[in-house]
């Protein structure tokens, strides 16, 4: 209930604030991101443990993680295409509606098979809405304000992560993994319905695109990303592959190996997100005025450090240091997203963004399977491998992108 009441109170004030950075559609989009993040983060990070209680093996958890990343990949391009064809309002309302259906399936699941089968619906908002978000920010704001806009977008996404996992962890600790997770999902559905109503009523209707483009032409164009965007994509793939090796297993390691409660895990996630929120705006303002690349390099470095610190953790205090590093992974995320928008073609921005995340996701989705195989050898090995691969991507970015920038 804490997240529900916070979400309802925050929508009005956040919408007024964000209206100043780019118009009512952008403000409503960010308010919807806030609400849906609150809905999902009550339970999303606990799903691997939920799967285990429903009878899934570690291998199935790895398959779930890989399937999630695969959907995140293949949804990006159709998300960009639907946004181009339907406009922001209709496409985002559709994505929100599909996600709510998936939440309901998760809450009613009596087998891990139902959870895996419903994942394509649950992922609809997260994946389909991303190109629309990038396109809206890129089309609304000038280049010198985009990092800050993405910082607001990230804050809207992460304020709920400070609150919701704590509330979800308390619920799960109080009622048990099975009943507690289901209750958290039901609370999330109520918040997601509010987000759907906000979007349905408040978005300004946009005219259909004048330049209707055939799907085949869009697919061909998507292969023609600008060279610097391809360099950013290549380094991003290494870093995210490292993240993908370990990310789905973090909750299992923290709860089952280190031995802390679900409520403590929720507090650790909240600590990470509070750290992220603290750095977003000042870093983004500097990046907009100067260079974005050094901040991207720093965020990649923390992607490498976080899993290594997890592997070294033996108690809640050590985990606290690791989760601060997790929060600092976001220090350069708004500048990175602004770089993507800057380097995308203006007349195909949503398509280029969709193509970028499609390629990244297809390359990264098997990472969870690698993590699952390493987990069987030794759980800590999963996190050491994750940090090593991310470190390779960090070094590659430092060598290539920084040398190319002026």
Walk me through the domains of the chain, giving residue ranges and CATH numbers: 2-201+223-404 (1.20.1250.20)
Q: Return d(Cα 149, Cα 145) in angstroms, integer.
A: 6
The alpha carbons of the chain give a radius of gyration, in whole angstroms, of: 20
Burial status of residue 105 (CB atoms within 10 A of its CB: 0-12, 13-18, 19 or more): middle
Distance CA 19, CA 17 (A): 5
Ramachandran category for residue 176: left, alpha or beta (phi over 0 → left; psi -120 to 50 → alpha): left
Q: What pTM was estimated for this model as a whole?
A: 0.81
Q: Which of 256, 253, 251, 238 is nearest to 374 (CA)?
A: 253
Whole-angstrom distance, CA of residue 377 vs CA of residue 381: 7
Tell me how crowded residue 314 is: count the other CB atoms within 10 A of its CB.
10
Which distant-in-sequence residues (6+ apart) come within 8 Å of 263 by Cβ? Answer: 166, 169, 170, 172, 173
Check residue 144 and report its DSSP letter: G
Does residue 29 contact residue 92 with C-beta atoms inside 8 Å?
yes
- Going residue by residue through the chain (406 aa), what tens digit of pLDDT does each one get? 444 444 444 444 444 444 444 456 667 777 787 888 889 999 999 999 999 999 999 999 999 999 998 888 787 667 666 766 776 677 778 888 999 999 999 999 999 999 999 999 998 877 666 666 666 666 666 666 666 777 777 777 778 888 899 999 999 999 999 999 999 999 999 999 998 888 777 655 555 444 444 555 555 655 677 888 888 999 999 999 999 999 999 999 999 999 999 999 999 999 999 999 899 888 888 888 888 889 999 999 999 999 999 999 999 999 999 999 999 998 988 889 888 888 887 777 767 777 788 788 889 999 999 999 999 999 999 999 999 999 999 999 998 865 665 4
């Amino acid at each position: 209930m804490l997240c529900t009441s916070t979400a309802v109170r925050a929508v009005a004030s956040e919408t007024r604030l964000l209206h100043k950075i780019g118009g009512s559609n952008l403000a409503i989009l960010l308010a919807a991101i806030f609400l849906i993040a609150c809905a999902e983060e009550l339970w999303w990070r606990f799903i691997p443990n939920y799967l285990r209680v429903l009878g899934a093996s570690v291998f199935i958890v790895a398959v779930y993680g890989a399937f999630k990343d695969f959907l995140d990949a293949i949804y990006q391009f159709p998300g960009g295409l639907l946004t181009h064809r339907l406009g922001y309002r209709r496409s985002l309302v559709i994505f929100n509606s599909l996600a709510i259906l998936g939440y309901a399936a998760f809450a009613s699941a009596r087998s891990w098979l139902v959870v895996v089968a419903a994942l394509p619906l649950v992922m609809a908002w997260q994946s389909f809405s991303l190109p629309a978000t990038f396109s809206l920010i890129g089309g609304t704001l000038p280049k010198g304000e985009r990092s800050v806009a993405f910082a607001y977008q990230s804050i809207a996404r992460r304020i709920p992560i400070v609150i919701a996992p704590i509330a979800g962890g308390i619920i799960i600790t109080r009622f048990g993994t099975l009943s507690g997770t289901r209750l958290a999902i039901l609370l999330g559905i109520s918040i997601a319905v509010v987000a759907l109503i906000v979007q349905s009523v408040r978005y300004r209707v946009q005219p259909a695109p004048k330049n209707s483009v055939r799907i085949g032409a869009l697919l061909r164009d998507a292969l023609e990303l600008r060279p610097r965007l391809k360099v950013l994509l290549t380094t991003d793939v290494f870093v995210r592959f490292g993240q993908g090796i370990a990310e789905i297993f973090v909750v299992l390691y923290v709860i089952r190996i280190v031995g802390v409660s679900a409520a403590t895990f929720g507090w650790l996630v909240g600590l990470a997100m509070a750290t992220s929120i603290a750095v977003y705006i000042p870093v983004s303002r500097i990046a907009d005025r100067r260079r974005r690349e050094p901040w991207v390099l720093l965020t990649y470095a923390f992607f490498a450090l976080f899993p290594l610190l997890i592997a070294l953790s033996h108690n809640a205090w050590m985990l606290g240091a690791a989760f601060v590093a997790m929060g600092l992974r976001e220090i350069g995320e708004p500048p990175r997203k602004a770089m993507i928008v800057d380097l995308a073609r203006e007349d195909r921005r949503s398509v280029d963004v969709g193509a970028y995340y499609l390629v990244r996701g297809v390359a990264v989705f098997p990472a969870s399977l690698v993590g699952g195989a390493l987990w069987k050898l030794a759980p800590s090995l999963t996190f050491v491998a994750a940090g090593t691969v991310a470190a390779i991507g960090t070094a590659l970015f430092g060598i290539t992108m920084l040398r190319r920038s002026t």
